Amino acid sequence: MTMSPHSHPVLRLKPKADARKIRHGAPWAWADDLVLDRRSRAIPAGALAVLEDAERQPLGLGVATIEAKIGLRLLDRNPDAVIDADWLSARIGAALALRQRAFDAPFYRLIHAEGDGLPGLIVDRFGDTLVMQPNAIWLEEREDMIAQTLLSATGCTNLIKNGTGRARLAEGLPEVTAVLAGAAPASAIPVPMNGATYMADVMGGQKTGLFYDQRDNHAFAARLARGARVLDVFSHVGGFALACLAAGADRAVAVDGSEPALALAQEGAVAMGVADRFTTRRGDAFTEMEALAAEGARFDLVICDPPAFAPGKTALEAGLRAYERVARLATALVEPGGTLILCSCSHAADLSKFRAACLRGIGRAGGEPRLIHTGFAGPDHPQHPALTETGYLKALAFHLMP
């Protein structure tokens, strides 16, 4: 339903709040920075509201969630914007145009939340199938409009709603997985990337079924993989291992705690014709790395891509210790003169803190590293410059001196 822009309630910043941050691009207003009186507290979660500074100058139109830590998420810098199907179509169309320029096949992240001006919305594309994660109340209330706009813009037939994860819980939304259009795929969807084939389980896999964010880092690892012995720890569906095998790795070992993920990795290796050079080890990654070291195993290229050990500031110190431990154990498995690639998807651990933790771990293992590459997510994960959460992924490649 389209509402008159003049009918929206107003949220105002306190005099002490720094309105310049929002004028300079910050997309959020913290609840602690808002004047919360009887009228503002009556604004329902997910309702549209105009944000003003302390002098009553409008800053934009956004979505109110004043009972949460983030009191308002900006949707448009124009306070008179109308958030309707046309507005949504323009945002989705711009995101699609970027992906169509960047990729020659329809396999990518189509919508990256604030990175594409659509707070809380994640959409991944798998050919003719879209998987949508609506992680905010305002999206839930406009589900039908979003679904129709996505299908119309892309020409896709199938649309899956994956309503799971911490972000939805934080918004007070229920966990639900449903088919919103078309049909659920009868089996895993083959996804071509970097010469490899990945199998995406869009109904039962992690997140949307596949992690597109590591695409460019897979490609860098593959450049070093010809003739190499490769170890891919926290491999999920074989992300780095399969890319390296596609580039001519001698052999690759994938380690993960999930049996279904490793089964999909094996299925991908079969589809690529490289199953004879691919093996898997299921178990706790730390335990498996210790076991490999005890076996005397060594690899020319070791990659560790763990889950978010520091998903927020409260977990930062423990997370950094975990990254240090990963680096220490992985270093012991690298052949002298080989390469170690360490990754983090924790936005709370910024690049400098993550790099420092990695270097401590490598040093404790007796390694002498040289940083040869710093990687991030690709262009289908555009970063909002004022929001570190959209630039969460880091990958550091170290040459270990012989």
Q: What angle do CA 194, 198, 200 make, to 5 degrees?
A: 135
281's CB contacts (< 8 A; 6+ apart) are: 253, 254, 255, 288
What are the residue ranges of helices labelled H in 285-375?
285-294, 316-331, 351-364
Q: How many CB atoms lie within 10 A of CB 294?
A: 9
Please give the C-alpha separations between residue 69 and each of 30, 37, 74, 346, in angstroms, as whole numbers.
Answer: 6, 16, 14, 19
- Cα–Cα distance measured from residue 19 to residue 57, given in angstroms and rounded to the nearest whole number: 10
CA distances from 48 to 12, 40, 118, 120 (A): 14, 12, 14, 15
Q: Are 342 and 214 in contact (CB under 8 A)?
A: no
The C-alpha torsion from 34 through 90 and 118 to 81, rounded to 10°, is 10
The candidate with the shortest Cα–Cα distance to 60, out of 90, 101, 22, is 22
**Positions marked active-site:** 345
DSSP letters, 184-236, are --SSPEEEEETTEEEEE-TTTSSTTSS-GGGHHHHHHHHHT-TT-EEEEES-T
Query: Distance (Å, rounded) from C-alpha 230 to C-alpha 252?
Result: 5
Angle between helices 285-294 and 316-331 (to 10 degrees): 20
Q: Which amino acid is at 129?
A: T
d(CA 180, CA 182): 7
